[in-house]
Chain A
Amino acid sequence: MDQLPNLGREQEMLSIMGLKSIDQLFSNIPDEVRRTEPLPLPPPQSEEEIWRDAQHLLGSNINLDSRPSFLSAGLSRNFVPTMVGMLATRGEFLTSYTPYQAEVSQGMLQAMWEFQTMISELVSLPISNVSMYDASTSAAEAITCAVRVHNKKATQKETIYISELVPPHRMSVIENYVQGAGINIQILKHDQNGHLDIDSASIANGSCAVYVEQPNSFGILDEGLLKLKELIGDNTALIVGVDAVSLGIVSPPGEWGADIVVGEGQPFGIGPTFGGPIYGIFACTDKYIRQMPGRIVGQTHDSNEKMAFTLTLSTREQHIRRHRATSNICSNETLIALMGAMHMSLLGPDGITVLSQRVAASTEVTKKALQSIKGVELVHPNSHNFRDFVIKLPGDSGEAVAFIDSKGVMAGLPLGQWWSEMSSCLLIGCDERTSESDISSLVSAIKEWIKEVEF
C-alpha cells in the first residue's frame, strides 16, 4: 500500500473534478458484473515483512551453488560477472519500455545493436534479432520462418525434418508452434554413437527445413553435420541449435552452411533462475530477414545527420501487420539480452575461448573419472562431448540420483524422464565451475550407490 502517492488525497482530486466518491468513477460497470465482496486474500505487508517471507521461502530451496552439481540439461550453472547485475539494473535500463521513442532510447538501442553484432560474430551469420523467449521458441519460430521462405519451391511441401534427439520439452514447444501452420514434422534418426545417420539425411532434400543440434542433447559434437548442408541443398534451410559457450572452441555453424542458428543465451548474462527469464538467440542469413520474428535494431541518423539507432523492419511485426505478422512476439527478453551483451563484452574474444576450454576440460575430466568406475559405462564411448555426456548405471538412474542426492551431490538428469527406454541412463552436465573436488564427490557417491545395489 506504500506505492500510492495520492493515498489520502482522493477527495482533493475528486472535488477538482466535481465528484464525491471514487465509486462514481466505476459507475460504468453494470451491477450484474460488479464485485461486491472484498478479495479473499491476506492483508497487505510492508517491505520488511515481504523480504522476511521471501528469505524464508526461497531460503528453504536447495540451490545449485550449495553443493556439487552435475545438473545441466540445457542451462548453465554459470558465474555471472558482478558488473552485469549492477549495471543492467540501473533504472534507466531496468524501467524502460520497448524503445519506440528512439530519441530518448539511444542507450538501449545501441546496446541491442551491439548485442546483435556480438551474436552475429559468435555464430558467424550476418543478422541477429534482439532475442526470443528461450532456445525452444527460437527453434520453433526458426522453423515457421523457414517454411514461409522455402515452401513455394519445396518439393516436400510444409515438411520439415527434426533430429530425434531434440529433447521432449523442446519438441513439445515446436509442435505447439508449428501445428497452426499445418507443418508436417519428420524425424531424422541417429546411430549407436549418437551421431546423425548422415546417409539417410538426404531424404530431407526438397523439404523446407532441417533442425539439428550441435552439440546434441547428449552433449555429442557430431562431425557429420558439417556435410549436412550439401546433402539437403540450397532450398532447404539448415537450422542449427547451439550451446552458445561451445562456440569459443567449436566452429560456428555459419561456417558450415547453417542458414539459421538458434540457442539458449542464458550462459551469458544470467543464472539458471529456475528456467526463466532466459533468452533465445536467433541469427540468420539475409534470405530470411523479412520473414524472421522479433525486434531488430538498425543504425541510422537524426535530423542533424548525427549517428543514431532505431527499431527497424517493424512492418513484419504484430502491431503493424496484425494477423499477417511473421510472429506474435511483442515483449521479448531485452534486459536479459543486455546482461548477455555485458557478459560477452567483458569476456572478449580471449575470455570466450578460455570459458569454452574450461567447459570442455571439465567435461573430459569428469567423463574419464566416471568411466573408470566399475559398473559405470559410457553410452557413447567414441564420441566427443561438450558439457553433457551419458552414462549407463547398473540400475534405475532415478533411484541413483535420489541416493546420491542424500549424500549432498546433484548427480544430473535421469534420462528416463525424457525417454523411458533410457531409465538406467544418466545425463551428466559439466560447466566451467566443475572442480576436481566436485568430481571426486560424484565418483564416491556413485561408487557408494553401486555398492548398495550390488548387495
Chain B
Amino acid sequence: MDKGGGILSDIFAFNGSSNAGWSQPKPILSFSQIKETVPKSMLRSIPPAWPRASEPELVRHYTWLSRRNFGIDTGFYPLGSCTMKHNPRVNERIVNLPGIDRMHPLQPEHQIQGILSIFFEMQEMLAICSGMDQVTLQPVAGAQGEFTAMRCIQEFHRERGEGHRNKVIVPDSAHGTNPASASMCGYEIIEIPSGKDGRIDLDALQSVVGDDTAAMMITNPSTLGVFEPEIAKASEIVHSAGGQMYYDGANFNAIIGKTDPGMMGFDAVHYNLHKTFSQPHGGGGPGSGPIGVKAHLAKYLPTPLASRRKLNDSDAEGVGDGFWYSWVTPEKTIGKVQQWHGNAGAVVRCWAFYRRYGRELERMSEHAVLNANYLRYKIMNPDPEVASNIHAMPLDGAPTDFVMHEFTLSMIQLKDKVGITGKDIAKRLLDYGVMAPTLYFPMIVPECLMIEPTETESKEVLDQFAKDFLNILTEDPEIVTTAPHTTDVGRVDEVWAARNLILRHPGNNTVQD
C-alpha cells in the first residue's frame, strides 16, 4: 500500500497467536463452570473474526490512520455552519477525571453534587445567553434538540386542544435536520422560499400561516450568514396565527451578548455545544444539543432537570457553595429522548470552555464576526495585479454590507467561463493544506461555497487563505478540475461506492498473501 502503509494498513491482516494479544485477569470461576452459566443451545461456537494483534502493532496502525486524517489541529478548517474552532486541551484533561469518567447516571444525589452543580450552572448560563427560561441538557445532538423541542411544542398544542395544528414552516435555506426532525414528530413540512437577498419573505410567510400552523423553524443569522432584521415581525406573524417559533442555534456563535432568541420572539431554541462551546467534533460526534424554552413550554421538557435549593442544617456539606442540588421532573414531561442525562462529558467540556469567557462571551462572537468579514473582504477585494489574472470572480451569496460569522460565495461565473465548479475549488483547496468549505449549501446559492473561519484563527491564517483561494482562481483549469493532487488519495469515486456497497472487510482469509 501507499506511503508508510504496507503492513500497517490492513488491521484484519494482523493474525498473531492467541497469547500475543492484550492480557487481562482470569475469570473468577473455572471454564467448565462458566459454560454452565449459559444454556447449551446458546453458547457461541465461533468468536468474532476481530484482528489478533498486540498493542505495539495497533498503536502503529491507528497512528498511521490518524496521519491520514485532517482536523482543526492539522490546519485551517473553514467549514461553514460547523463552527470548527479550536478545542482547548484542558477540557480533555478534565473529562478524564474519575468524577465524570467513572460516574453512573443512576447514582444517588448525595454522590453526584459536583456534576449536578455543573449541570445547573450550564442550564442557567445557556438560559441567560439565549433569553430563555428553562434549559435541558439531555439532547445529545442538534438534530435531537430540534426533535425534543418539536415534541414539547406538539404536547403544548395538544394540551390546549389544538392538536390539529399539523404544519411546520421552514425556509428553503434551512438545515436539512429541521424538516427531518419535525417530520419525525409527524408534522407536515411547508417550505417557503427566501427573498432574492436570502432574507425571509414576510408575504410568503403570511400566506402560509393559519390555524394549522404548529411552528416555524428558522436560524438567525441565516445559513447565508446574514442577520434577519425582520425576525421580530416574522415571530409576530407566526404567533398571531397561534404557532410557536423555534430557533435553530447552529449559528449562535455569531450573536452571543449582542442579541438573543428571546428578544427576537422565539419560544424554543437548541444550542450546538459542539459548535459554539467547543466540544470536539470527533469525526462526526459526539455532539450535544441542549434546548432552552420559554416558561409556557418548560413543563413538557424531558426528565430530569438539575435544580437547587439553599442547604438545610440536615444536609451533607454539598460542594461548598451553600446549595443542595437535585433532579426534578417537569410536570408534564415528554419523558426521555436519550437514555440517561445526555452527553454529560460534552456538557463538562463546554462548561470548562464557557468559564474561559464568562461575562466576556460577547468577545467570542465579536471575533467570529470580525474574522468572517475580514476574510470575505480579502477575497472579494483582490490586489489589482492578482485580479487581472483571475478567470472569474466569485459572487457574494447574499448582497449585504456586513455578514455575521460566515459567508457564502457563488462560483457560478467561474463555472460558466472556464468550467471550474465549486466542488473543484473545494478539492483544490485540499492541496493547499486547508479543509474545504461547506459545499453546495445552502442550495439557493448556485455553486455555493460556505465559509466560516471562527474566532480562533489569526489574521495571518486568514490572509494566507485569501491569497491561496484567489490564486486557485488564476490556475490552469485542468489542474483545478482534477484536484486534489497531493492528498493521501486522489479524487474518490463516490458513485462506485454507492453502486457496489462494500461495507465491511471480507475477512481474514481473503486478505492474507
Q: Are A176 and B334 in contact (CB under 8 A)?
A: yes
Near B by CB (< 8 A), chain A positions 33-52 give 33-35, 38-47, 49-51
Contact present for A361 and B28 (CB under 8 Å): yes
- Given contacts A85-B96, A361-B27, are A331 and B426 in contact (CB under 8 A)? no
Task: Answer yes or no: A249 CB below 8 A from chain B CBs.
Answer: yes
Indicate if the CB atoms of A384 and B500 lie closer than 8 Å.
Answer: no
* Pair A33/B184 contact, Cβ less than 8 Å: no
Q: Which one of A146-154, A343-351, A447-455 is at the B interface?
A: A343-351
Supposing A303-B493, A345-B11 touch, asked if A272 and B105 sit within 8 A by C-beta, the answer is yes
Inter-subunit contact B232/A32 (CB<8 Å):
yes
**Residue in contact with A131 in the complex, picked from B11, B146, B285, B488, CB distance below 8 Å:** B285
A101, B37: Cα distance in complex, Å? 48
The answer to whether B436 and A101 have CB atoms under 8 Å apart is yes
Q: Is the CB of A130 within 8 A of B48?
A: no
* A66 cross-chain contacts in B, Cβ below 8 A: 98, 102
Contact of B286 among A16, A250, A271, A331 (CB under 8 A): A331
Known: A97-B281, A274-B103. A110 touches B65 (CB 8 A): yes
Residues B50 and A4 in contact, CB atoms below 8 Å apart: no
CB distance from B402 to the nearest CB of A (A): 5
Q: Which one of A175, A182, A330 has the highest number of Cβ atoms from chain B below 10 Å of its Cβ?
A: A330
Interface size grouping (class) on chain A:
35 or more
Compute how far the CA of A57 lies from the CA of B355 in the bound complex, rounded to whole angstroms.
14
Q: Cβ of A196 < 8 Å from any Cβ of B?
A: no
Within 8 A of B (CB), among A157-190: 169-170, 172-173, 175-177, 179-182
Q: For the complex, give the distance between the alpha carbons of A73 and B37 in Å.
A: 19
Nearest CB to that of A144 among chain B residues? B184
Number of interface residues of B (CB under 8 A): 201
Which residues 318-367 of B have a CB within 8 angstroms of A? 318-320, 334-346, 348, 352, 355-364, 366-367
Q: Is A12 a contact partner of B459 (Cβ separation < 8 A)?
A: yes
Asked if B374 contacts A358 (CB within 8 A), the reply is no
**Can you list, as one digit per residue, whether each of A3-23 has a CB less than 8 Å from chain B (1) or not (0)?**
111110110111011000010
Q: Is the CB of A35 within 8 A of B79?
A: no
Which residues in window 387-414 of A have CB below 8 A to B? 401-402, 405, 410, 413
Contact assessment for B69 and A30 in the assembled complex, using a CB-CB cutoff below 8 Å: no
**What's the nearest-Cβ distance from chain A to residue B282, in Å?**
3
Segment at the A interface, from B16-24, B204-212, B385-393: B16-24
Report A14 CB to chain B, min CB distance, Å: 7
CA distance A69 to B97 in the complex (A): 18
Contacts A85-B96, A101-B430, A354-B27 given; indicate if A33 touches B231 (C-beta within 8 A).
yes
Is the Cβ of B358 less than 8 Å from the Cβ of A42?
yes
Assess the B363–A83 pair: CB atoms within 8 A. no
- Distance from A244 Cβ to chain B, minimum over Cβ atoms (Å): 10
Residues of chain A contacted by B39 (CB below 8 angstroms): 221, 223, 384
Given A92-B67, A107-B69, A172-B336, A99-B283 contact (CB < 8 Å):
yes
Task: State whether B115 touches A61 (Cβ < 8 A).
Answer: yes
Q: Report if A107-B67 is in contact (Cβ < 8 Å); known contacts: A3-B356, A3-B456, A349-B52.
A: yes
Minimum distance in angstroms from A416 CB to a CB of chain B = 13
Whether B352 pairs with A226 at a CB distance below 8 angstroms is no
Interface string of A239-259 (1 = CB under 8 A from B): 000000001111110000000
Q: Which residues of A contact B374 (CB under 8 A)?
A: 13, 16-17
Chain B, 74-115, CB within 8 A of any chain A CB? 74, 77, 79, 82, 84-88, 90, 92-108, 111-115
- Contacting residues of chain A (415-440) with chain B, CB-CB under 8 angstroms: 417, 432, 434-436
Residue pair B501, A312 in contact (C-beta under 8 Å):
yes
Taking a contact as CB atoms under 8 Å apart, the answer to whether A133 and B338 are in contact is yes
Say how far B321's CB is from chain A's closest CB, in angstroms: 9
Q: Give the chain A neighbours of B407 by CB distance below 8 A.
A: none
- Chain A residue with minimal CB distance to B9? A110
CB distance from A214 to the nearest CB of B (A): 9
Tell which of B28, B49, B103, B280 touches A63, judged by Cβ atoms closer than 8 Å: B103
Are B339 and A56 in contact, CB atoms less than 8 angstroms apart? no
Contacts of A44 in B (CB 8 A): 355-360
Q: Residue A288 at the B interface, CB < 8 A? A: no
Q: B29-60: contact bitstring with A at CB < 8 Å (1 yes, 0 no)?
A: 10101101111011111011111110100110
Q: Does A304 reach chain B (CB closer than 8 Å)?
A: yes
Q: Are B37 and A384 in contact (CB under 8 A)?
A: yes
CA distance in complex: A172, B338 (Å): 9
Q: How far is the CA of A400 from the CA of B47 in the complex (A)?
A: 40
CA gap between A103 and B359 in the complex, in Å:
41
A residues in contact with B441, CB < 8 Å? 319
Chain B CB within 10 Å — which of A61, A306, A405 has the most? A61
User: Is A156 part of the contact surface with B, judged by Cβ < 8 Å?
Assistant: no
Would B352 and A50 count as touching, CB distance under 8 A? Answer: yes
Q: Are A276 and B345 in contact (CB under 8 A)?
A: yes
1/0 contact trace for A209-225 toward B, CB 8 Å?
Answer: 00000000000010100
Known contacts A3-B456, A223-B39; is A107 also within 8 Å of B176 by CB? no
Q: With contacts A113-B505, A328-B181 known, is A300 near B493, CB below 8 A?
A: yes
Asked if A281 lies at the interface with its beta carbon under 8 angstroms from chain B, I say no
Q: Which positions 99-150 of chain A face chain B at CB distance < 8 Å?
A: 99-108, 110-114, 116-118, 120-122, 126-128, 130-131, 133-137, 144
**B102 A350 Cβ-Cβ under 8 A:** no
**Distance of A250 from chain B, by nearest CB (Å):** 6
Contacts of A181 in B (CB 8 A): 184, 186
The reply to whether A135 and B370 form a contact with Cβ atoms under 8 Å apart is no
Query: Is A302's beta carbon under 8 Å from chain B?
Result: yes
Complex contacts, A223 vs chain B, CB 8 Å? 39, 41-42
B67: A residues at CB distance < 8 A = 92, 107
Q: Which residue of A lies closest to B2 (CB)?
A: A306
**Interchain CB contact under 8 A, B69 and A92:** yes
Please indicate the chain A residues that have their CB under 8 angstroms from the CB of B263 in the complex: 32-35
In the complex, the answer to whether A345 meets B143 with C-beta atoms within 8 Å is: no
**Chain B 165-209 residues near chain A, CB threshold 8 A:** 175-177, 179-187, 189
Residues of A within 8 A of B404 (CB): 28
| In the complex, A386 has a CB within 8 A of chain B | yes
Contact residues in A for B144 (Cβ distance below 8 Å): 133, 137, 328
Task: Judge if A338 is at the interface, Cβ distance under 8 Å.
Answer: yes
Q: Which residues of A contact B491 (CB under 8 A)?
A: 103, 302-303
Contact B232 A33 (CB under 8 A): yes
Q: Of B140, B181, B183, B358, which is within 8 A of A324 by CB?
A: B183
Instruction: Determine if A65 is an interface residue (Cβ-Cβ < 8 Å).
Output: yes
Q: Are A271's CB and B285's CB within 8 A? A: no
Report if A235 contacts B (CB, 8 A): no
Q: Is the CB of A39 within 8 A of B337?
A: no
User: Which of B237-245, B252-260, B414-422 makes up part of the contact surface?
Assistant: B252-260
What's the minimum C-beta distance from B482 to chain A, rounded to whole angstroms?
7
Question: A74 in the interface, Cβ–Cβ < 8 Å?
Answer: yes
Contact present for B51 and A71 (CB under 8 Å): no
A443 within 8 Å of B by Cβ?
no
The residues of B that contact A180 with a CB separation of less than 8 Å are: 183-187
A–B Cβ pairs within 8 angstroms, 20 of them: A5-B458, A28-B227, A42-B358, A44-B358, A50-B94, A50-B356, A59-B97, A71-B107, A94-B282, A274-B345, A277-B140, A300-B494, A303-B491, A309-B497, A318-B143, A318-B180, A321-B176, A328-B183, A352-B50, A361-B37
New contact pairs (5) apart from A318-B176, A325-B180, CB-CB < 8 Å:
A33-B232, A346-B21, A357-B31, A361-B37, A405-B108
